[in-house]
Amino acid sequence: MSEATRSVIVVEDEPLVTMLIEDMVSELGWQIAATAQTEAAALHVLEHCTPTLAILDINLGQQTSLVVAEVCRSRRIPVVFTTGYMAGDVPPECGDAPVLSKPFSLEELATALQRGLISVSESLPS
């Protein structure tokens, strides 16, 4: 897949954090397919969009993004989680998806995006 066609959805309930992630993703050469602040909005986006990867904040206020992650996995869309949680507090439902603790650097995001892409390509049937 060429770098020019890589797109992400960003699911984050804090608008300033969303803008920061958008800037970082763009700097890394990715396109923003969509953003959402709630589980319902993210699920609606996924009805109309198939991004290369999803960046999901684990905690969306009163909800989590775990249902969104499950929909992404069922559609073979890799997931990278972001969180303000400590590593030991990350829900086991996150599985082996990359998890970035906030705040994170551009380099950490780049590594997580690459890991997310690799994890899905490794799980594809030969």
Domain at 13, CATH number: 3.40.50.2300
The number of domains in the chain is 1
Tell me, what's the pLDDT at 76? Answer: 93
Which residue in 33, 14, 1, 22 sits closest to 114, CA to CA? 1
Tell me, what's the pLDDT at 120? Answer: 63
DSSP state of 54: E
Look at residue 31 and tell me whether its pLDDT is greater than 60: yes
Reported as a single tens digit per residue, the pLDDT across 69-120 is 999 999 999 999 999 877 667 788 888 889 999 999 999 999 999 999 887 6
**Beta carbons of 58 and 83 less than 8 angstroms apart:** yes
Domain of residue 80: give its range.
Answer: 3-122
Give the helix ranges, DSSP H, for the chain: 15-27, 39-48, 66-74, 106-122
Mean pLDDT computed over every residue of the chain: 89
Using DSSP, state whether 126 is helix, strand or coil.
Answer: coil
Average pLDDT over residues 18-39: 97
Tell me, what's the pLDDT at 119? Answer: 72
Tell me, what's the pLDDT at 88? Answer: 67
Phi, psi (degrees; rounded to nearest 5) at 47: -70, -25
| Angle between helical axes of 106-122 and 15-27 (0-180°, round to 10) | 70
